Structure 1
Amino acid sequence: MALPPEDLRDKIAPSILSADFARLGEEIRAIEKAGADMIHFDVMDGHFVPNLSIGIPVLESVRKVTRLPLDAHLMISEPARYVEAFVKAGANSISVHCEVCPDIPAMAKRIHDLGARASIGINPETDADRVLPFADQLDMILVMSVHPGFGGQEFIPAALDKLRYIRRELKRRGLSIDVEIDGGVKLDNIAEVKAAGANVFVSGSGIFGKPDYSKIVGEMRELIAQTPAKI
């Protein structure tokens, strides 16, 4: 689903997986005040990825304390069973992984029918061509730049080539959809990621835990604003 040109803007999406969960409401209000564009909400099932994380009750609680769009990233083996529950809980966008999604058009349609934006994620070892044939039915493609399952990992440089390839192909097909990057995105590499074609930047430990969220988000925004895509 192509976006109007004015909506294909750069967006910073702090990942609350790295937030202080003892102060989650305060953390969310702080990143909202800092100028974040959306909140990235990582869901892990201990099966598709080797870890467990937050789920529907936490998303419902987060929805009550912010007006920011909630980007639910379902790193789970059976996403079709849960997409409706996450949308009802307040998710504005649902990302499911192509590795566990045999029918991407059907999944995109279901998410759209529920009133949410549809996104498909691609793990580091998965070829982008697994998703690109269906890009005209999506609102976003999510490129993993770490192996999903744990926060705080180092950025995988090969993700830059994948970003460039995806953005070139989207441009060739005349499609304006978001390209999201998730994993190891920080102040020291966000410009490289922007230059490679991403426009939605998920950052967990690159934001949370820093002494001044407004300062770090502002610096990230300045870097991406100064960096044209080079594809």
Structure 2
Amino acid sequence: MTAIEDRCRLVLVVPEGDDVSARKTMLEDALRGGDVASVIVPQYGLDDGEFQKHAEALVPVIQDAGAAALVAGDTRVAGRSRADGIHVTGGAEVLAEAMEKHSPKLIVGGGNAKDRHQALEIGDVGPDYILFGKIGGDIKPEAHPKNLALAEWWASMVEVPCIVMGGTDPESVLAVAETGAEFVALCQAVFAEPANAAQVVASVNALLDEKAPRFED
């Protein structure tokens, strides 16, 4: 493991927007800030054609920065944009279908687990990761306590890596790291002020370097 890989790493979630070039610039800036394991690009309200355009603009930016590009939405868009993976927002059944079609060629992960039972159903499918929290769920400064509790339980007993949705405060990453989760996802904390995105990514990495617990080999 490298020094960064032995602690909780950052995942970015691209916020809503319909201006492709503005989103591209914003993402390029954020990724200059330091280590990002992967970036989730959700479809939000875009139709498939528009989403295709956005994915084709954003995926290369993500990959050039050394992060994995995960498309959430139309799986055909993921394929055409040459993304590294698919983020499934449905439950275990939808995830199982996506795994059957796209794994191991693509990274396939998902979430929407509201309790331990649903989490274990998703885990049984054997995805590449599970997300605790929902995209767009970062409406408070801290990560949701329920997601922190699920992550702590999960990290102690299941090998499938987990991502936890952080809050609007960049420092919410520490509470996530302390659960033993492999990844923390941020959206508003990084992108609410696009001009500061690189600075926030740099400060989050510095905080995790300094204070996040280290994983054992």
Whether TM-score is above 0.5 comes out as yes
Matched residue, 1:63 = 59
Q: Deviations over 1:148-196 (max 9, x none)?
A: 5x465124221110111111221xxxx2x32112252532311001111
Matches of 2:13 and 2:30, distance apart in 1: 10
TM-score calculated relative to the size of structure 2: 0.76
Structure 2: give runs of 5+ residues left out of the alignment: none
Structure 1 distance, partners of 2:112, 2:127, is 13
Say yes or no: does 1:166 pair with 2:154.
yes
* Equivalent position of 1:228 in the other structure: 213
C-alpha displacement of 1:222? 2.3
TM-score (norm 1): 0.72
1:58 Cα deviation after fit: 0.6
RMSD after superposition = 3.0
Q: Which runs of 5+ in 1 are unaligned?
A: 1-5, 45-51, 75-81
How do 1:7-86 residues align onto structure 2 when only pairs under 5 Å count? 10-17=8-15, 21=19, 23-37=22-36, 38-44=38-44, 52-53=45-46, 55-66=51-62, 67=64, 68-74=67-73, 82-86=74-78
**Contact 2:31–2:201, Cα closer than 8 Å, also in 1:** no
Shift of 1:103: 5.5
Work out the CA distance in 2 between the residues paired with 1:216 and 1:20: 23
Out of 101-110 and 59-68, give the one that drifted further.
Answer: 101-110
Change (3 A) 1:128 1:229: farther
| Displacement over 4 Å in runs of 4+ | 6-9
Identity %, equivalent residues: 14
CA separation in 1, counterparts of 2:61 and 2:214? 34
AA at the equivalent of 1:138: P
Structure 1 residue aligned with 2:112: 122
Indicate if the aligned counterparts of 2:71 and 2:87 stay in contact, CA closer than 8 A. yes
